[in-house]
Amino acid sequence: EIISESQVDSFNFPVYAASAKEMKGIIERNGCFSIERLETTNPLSEAFVQPDTRVVTLHLRAGLEGIISKHFGNKIIDELFDRFDKKAEENSYLLNNPSYSLNQLFLVLIRK
């Protein structure tokens, strides 16, 4: 057994991606910043034809490794992301679906 069921059950990583409208409301309610620029962009350039599952895996690892290793320990990290990479490769057709699009929120804020 690599990790216990109780470790999995106690791991909580809530993620919520706010829409541009929600983010604008949050910033306005906060009152510390004015919005200079707010737009939704597609992070993929025209030259980027096919998503590389290894790149996706590396990006996720860069962002999540610290949180995961703090909860589960360092021993599982390499195997976890190797398994994720294999699953991502098996399901790479999902990334190549024309209806799938990546979006990111771009903000320029000025402190009031």
The predicted pLDDT at position 104 comes to 83
Residue 77 has, within 13 A of its CA and on its CB side, a CA count of 16
What percentage of the chain carries pLDDT values higher than 90? 58
Q: What is the average pLDDT score of the chain?
A: 87
- Bridge partners (DSSP) listed for residue 110: 34
Q: Which two tokens stand for residue 97?
A: 């679906």
- Indicate if the pLDDT at residue 32 is higher than 80: yes
Q: Which two tokens stand for residue 27?
A: 């910033």
Type and span of the H or E element at 9: helix 5-10
The predicted pLDDT at position 14 comes to 85
What percentage of the chain carries pLDDT values higher than 70? 84
Answer with the residue of higher pLDDT: 103 or 85: 85
Q: Please state the pTM of the whole predicted model.
A: 0.64
Q: What is the mean pLDDT of residues 5-16?
A: 90
- Bridge partners (DSSP) listed for residue 111: 33
Instruction: Please give the torsion angle defined by the CA atoms of residues 85, 89, 94 and 96, in that order, rounded to the nearest 10 degrees.
Output: 120
Please give the backbone phi and psi of residue 14, each rounded to the nearest 5 degrees, phi first: -70, 135
Query: What pLDDT digit, counting tens, does each position of 54-90 carry?
Result: 888 998 999 999 999 999 999 999 999 999 999 989 9
The predicted pLDDT at position 98 comes to 64
* Length of the chain, in residues: 112
